[in-house]
A and B are shown apart, each in its own frame.
Chain A
Amino acid sequence: MPTHTPSFPDLLFADAARLRRWETLLMAHLDAAGYRELHPSLVMRSPDNPNTVRFFDGDQLVALRWDFTEALARTLVRRFQDPPQRLSYAGPVFRRPTNSWDPVERFEVGCEHIHVDREQRIEADRELAGLLMAVPALLGLEGCLLHIGHAALLRRPLEAEAIPRELGLEVARVLDRRAIHRAAELLQGHPAKDRLLAHAEILLSGPDGPGSLDDLARGPYGALLEAEALQLRRVLDRLSSRLPQGLTLRLDMGDLRGLGFYSGPTLRLWAPGAQRELAAGGRYDGLFPELGRPWFAAGFCVRLTTLLELGDPQEEAE
């Protein structure tokens, strides 16, 4: 009989109480901003992702919910003609992690802003960033960092240079590890290699302030990325003026995780000492069109499992 199941951790009294308290706090925060809860099924059909927990239901292959955003999107396109604009969710997802010792079952609270009008995008992004900026104080966390990135900073140059999608994703994967030398190997022999590597050097110069946007403008794709750079500059200006005490805002142009999913600005919240980000999200305008609806969307999720690993900041402060 197995003595422990590290991939599927049991939460005993203190952790169970923390999880319940954080879920309640965060859901109330989202509810106050007009986000209504949807609870998609724990079982999802048509799993083509090998990192999911799959099993047969009769003769049909199904998987435990691996991602709330995708589960919600599938529900929305099936059940709604016009999308509810503001959604929230809470519960577990099951996805095999890169590090084999990390849990497969993870608890999340999050929200999605879905809109039909393209012009609503900037306002929605600001609203989500504002909601996320309030999370550290709600959870009693100090010294957090909010990283702002933009998926188009790499995606558009790759498209402009006609890099095949699979190669582009592989380049993004190694650059996400900051391994520019691996990108050089992957792009060996490509006519745009030197340009793309010079651009990657700028993106990976480190989480920095708005000064790195000037480097971007002087780089090989400065003209191509003018609109994105302007958007990032405005986002940083706007958020800096509303930044809660104890939260630091950083531009991280090297945030390339999920390049196949995100299409615009990205957000990642880091807590000191955490091995994974506490929250992550961004704009993903490609998902609903893939499912047959011309809707735009952005969202973020707070990873409560990461918070559990950190301990309870409020109890430690007391």
Chain B
Amino acid sequence: MKPLLIALPKGRLEEELLPRLKGSAFELDPKALKSRRLRIPMADPGLNAILLKGADLPRYVAGGVAALGVVGSDILDECPVDLMELADLDFGVCRLSLCGPAATSLERLRALPHLRIATKFPVATGRWLRQEGITAELVPLQSSVELAPVLGLADAIVDLVQSGRTLQAHHLAELAVLGRASARLVACRGQYLSEPDRIGPLARALAGLMKGGTAAS
């Protein structure tokens, strides 16, 4: 039987995630991790990991390349793919917030004749704007969103806020919280439902481990 692939995220969540896997069946081979190998063996010989950028990860899982994956809910909310979202793993927790220059307020932004909001999260932002009855032009950006109000590209931003230090460094403040984001365990619908005896126990073990328990190997 081919080793089963588990998609793990690079970047923000990776730093919190990898230490949780140590000593378990899901621990990544340290040599392979430092190399440029695509498939990284896990302690269980039946499992391999692939490290992916968060935005690409849901597609690998929904497309059935990886059976399981870990990804931020902020990314899941932006991409309409059909997969199972098995657990909130309660790490990588942050807020999705509307932020603007420290001197402004939500009321001031509402009053602008042409409000421009820069964001990497147009779906969640659009949903919140509709709920609030605010009309705005969304400026889609892929990185360093906090520069947009500083340099005059937008009046405000919607971005993830964890400690708030990046905002402070750019003289920005949180004006409204749109929602909470955290790491989620996802599964390929087809594999989860057509191979429940193989995928189900693995998913439960991985969720238990990530939430701070122990994983059955």
Contact = CB atoms under 8 A, between A and B. Distances in A.
A118 B63 CA distance: 42
A100 interface: yes
Interface stretch (B6-14, B20-28, B168-176, B194-202): B194-202
Interface stretch (A7-15, A131-139, A266-274, A290-298): A266-274
A86 interface: no
A178 B85 contact: yes
A127 B48 CA distance: 44
Interface stretch (B38-46, B156-164, B185-193): B185-193
Contact of B63 (A101, A145, A178, A182): A101
B80 interface: yes
A139 B16 CA distance: 47
Contacts of B66: none
Given A178-B86, A275-B64, A100 B80 contact: yes
A200 B12 CA distance: 32
A250 to B, nearest CB: 7
Interface residues of A, number: 26
Contacts of A145: 193-194, 196
A275 B80 contact: no
A275 B84 contact: no
A231 to B, nearest CB: 22
Nearest to B62: A99
Nearest to A147: B193
A207 B193 contact: yes
Contact of A275 (B59, B88, B190): B190
Nearest to B84: A178
Interface in A97-156: 97-101, 145, 147
Given A206-B200, A275-B63, A275-B189, A98 B82 contact: yes
Contacts of B184: 179
A275 to B, nearest CB: 4
B63 A98 contact: no
Nearest to B86: A178
A311 to B, nearest CB: 14
B194 A99 contact: no
Contacts of B86: 178-179
Interface string A179-221: 1011000000000000000000000001100000000000000
B190 A274 contact: yes
A270 B84 contact: no
Contact of B190 (A100, A181, A207, A276): A276
A147 to B, nearest CB: 7
A206 B197 CA distance: 10
Nearest to A179: B85
A98 B194 contact: no
A285 interface: no
B163 to A, nearest CB: 24
A202 to B, nearest CB: 16
A189 B201 CA distance: 33
B128 to A, nearest CB: 14
B194 A182 contact: no
A252 interface: yes
Contact of A177 (B59, B84, B195, B196): B84
Interface string B39-60: 0000000000000000000010
B188 A275 contact: yes
Nearest to A144: B194
B87 interface: yes
A206 B200 CA distance: 8
A266 to B, nearest CB: 13
A270 B59 CA distance: 21
Contact of B194 (A174, A179, A206, A274): A274
Interface string A81-102: 0000000000000000111110
A207 B188 CA distance: 15
A98 B196 contact: no
B134 interface: no
A126 B134 CA distance: 53
B194 A252 contact: no
B82 A270 contact: no
Contacts of B62: 99
Contact of A98 (B81, B88, B192): B81
11 contacts: A98-B81, A98-B82, A99-B63, A99-B82, A179-B84, A181-B87, A181-B88, A252-B193, A271-B194, A272-B194, A273-B190
Given A98-B81, A206-B196, A270-B194, 8 more contacts: A99-B63, A101-B59, A178-B192, A252-B193, A272-B195, A273-B190, A274-B194, A275-B189
Interface of B: 59, 62-64, 80-88, 184, 187-190, 192-196, 200
